[in-house]
Structure 1
Amino acid sequence: MGNYTTLLLDVDGTLLDFEEAERVALEVTFRRHGYPLDHSIKKMYHSINRTLWKQFERGEISREQVIYSRFVDLFQAAGIEGDGRTFEDEYQEELGRGAFLIPGAKEICAYCAQFCDLYIVTNGVSRTQYSRLRDSGLDRFMKGIFVSEDAGYQKPMKEYFDYIFARIPGFSPKKTLIVGDSLSSDIQGGNNAGIDTCWYCPKGGEIPAGVRVNYTIHRLDALKDLIG
């Protein structure tokens, strides 16, 4: 167990329930336009979206290419006549209202804030993430919020973490822990940045070779054992 003074916290899948926010935003926006949204179209969207975000993590495409390609590609694949870029803007507005907390998220942030400085580290869209963090009430526990869109780099790139570290007063890598649910983004990012990692995996999973995980937790309140 480390004597941590700084916690870097992921948002989606760690503090906020992105799957629920996404589900609601998709249903509302599709219904508004009268477009069909059955299981096959949802599956198609998730596949396209996941592929694009992985390309973004690897630095192969920009954030703008992710968000302004996914519905264009989906509509083309599903035979839907519509403006994918305009649809994306409306979808982001709905997504920004999706402040669904992961069970225990607010409580663990309140607890950890007694002992550590908390910072948000997220690859999400800036205006959407700020809105969700504000509406969820999590923003008041944070010393800072770092969104990849603002940094110009993204997790797991070392440059993203260099950007963050330069903006944390008295930063010490040995006293910093990153907590997140993504092995490829959060944990690999922590490895690239030379800081300790805590993998939040409520459903379990395998750790691939070459990825170093210092701690694994299945519930957020287990962070108390690492901090207090």
Structure 2
Amino acid sequence: MTKQYDALFFDVDNTILDFTKTEQEALPLLFKQHGLPTDETAMTAYRTINQRLWSSFEKGEINRDTVVSSRFTEFFAIYNKQVDGADLDAAYRELLAQGRHMIAGAAEILEELSKNYPLYIVTNGVSETQFRRLKATGLLPYFQSIFVSEDTGFQKPMAGFFDYVFERVPGIEPERSLIIGDSLVADIQGGNMAGMDTCWFNPGRLPNHLPLQPDFEITTLDELQDILK
């Protein structure tokens, strides 16, 4: 028999909102404004820097402000340009906030699930940007509360993040909750440590090389219906 849940917790980027597409539009605009190349070599260089810094953030090695400013100072340094990382991040966030790309089926599944479950957002993103994107896509009303690392003082997968969340959702216990996300570390490891059931959203069918085992794995959001029957 399928386990019954009292609440569902969703990651945002590349789980319900298509961050990859939004980034693919925002970065070339930003780089072009500053006279930098916008070819795939430049994009790959930026993403390598960005992923390394966010990985350090998830491990608690650096804070969010360091991530969002250093990624631009490091990237622009490749082209011998000195920039104010915080200013560049603000410009980038403005471009990101205009993104309205959703993961296929997100609106439909959230509308359906919200009829039977309280839904919550748990994300390591930047608060203002995430709220604006969720509002622009029309997804915001489906969620009871939005928990963003910037506001909680902790980031997934840190225990402090999930402690913060469950202190603010009265009557909902971790063991009666399911977290859905695309990150094995932030979402699956974090959920496992918090005592939640976990669902790895893996549309690219990526191999799992980590010693982490999600309770469920899906490649489309529609598959949640089968899990929750």
Specify if TM > 0.5.
yes
Q: Which amino acid aligns with 1:55?
A: S
Structure 1: where are the runs of 5+ without partners? Answer: none
Match of residue 148 from structure 2: 147
2:68–2:85 Cα contact (<8 Å) kept:
no
Q: Which moved more, 1:23-32 or 1:105-114?
A: 23-32
Q: CA 1:88–1:215 in structure 2 vs 1: closer, same or farther (change >3 Å)? A: same
Match of 1:8 in 2: 9
Give the distance between the partners of 1:83 and 1:119, measured in 2 at CA: 35
Q: Which amino acid aligns with 1:120?
A: I
TM-score scaled by length of structure 1: 0.96
Q: Is 1:88 aligned to 2:89, yes or no?
A: yes
Q: Confirm whether residue 30 of structure 1 aligns to residue 35 of structure 2.
A: no
Q: Does 1:199 align with 2:200?
A: yes
| Kept in 1: contact 2:69–2:88 (CA 8 A) | no
* Aligned twin of 1:211: 212
Q: Deviations over 1:182-214 (max 9, x none)?
A: 101100110110110001101112223531210
Equivalent pair of 1:7/1:116 in contact (CA under 8 Å): yes
What secondary structure sits across from 2:198 in the alignment?
strand
- Residue identity matched to 2:90: D
Tell which deviates more after alignment, 78-87 or 112-121: 78-87
DSSP-derived class of the 1:49 partner: helix
Where does 1:59-208 land on structure 2 (aligned, <5 Å)? 59-208=60-209
- 1:39-64 CA distance string (max 9 Å, x none): 22111100000000000000000000
CA distance in 1, matches of 2:150, 2:83: 27
Whether contact under 8 Å (2:6, 2:172) holds in the other structure is no
Find the aligned partners of 2:82 and 2:164 in 1 and give their Cα distance: 41
Between the aligned partners of 1:223 and 1:124, the Cα distance in structure 2 is: 23
Q: In the alignment, is the contact (CA less than 8 A) between 2:9 and 2:121 conserved in 1?
A: yes
Could you say what secondary structure the match of 1:68 adopts?
Answer: helix
Aligned residues: 228
For the 8 Å contact 1:41–1:78, the answer to whether it is kept is no
Distance between the aligned counterparts of 2:89 and 2:210, measured in 1? 36
Partner secondary structure for residue 222 of structure 2: helix
Provide the rounded CA distance (Å) in 2 between the counterparts of 1:76 and 1:210. 36
- For the Cα contact (< 8 Å) 2:156–2:190, is it kept in 1? yes
Amino acid at match of 2:178: L
Identical residues among aligned pairs (%)? 45
- Structure 2 distance, partners of 1:34, 1:207, is 39
Q: C-alpha offsets along residues 95-154 of structure 1, whole Å, 9 cap, x if unaligned?
A: 111121000001010111111110000000111111101101111100000000000000
Over aligned residue pairs, what C-alpha RMSD do you find? 1.2
CA shift at 1:164, angstroms? 0.2
Q: Within 2, Cα distance between the matches of 1:31 and 1:207?
A: 36
Q: Is the 8 A contact 1:198 1:213 kept in 2?
A: yes
CA contact (8 A) 2:100 2:133 kept: yes
TM-score by length of 2: 0.96
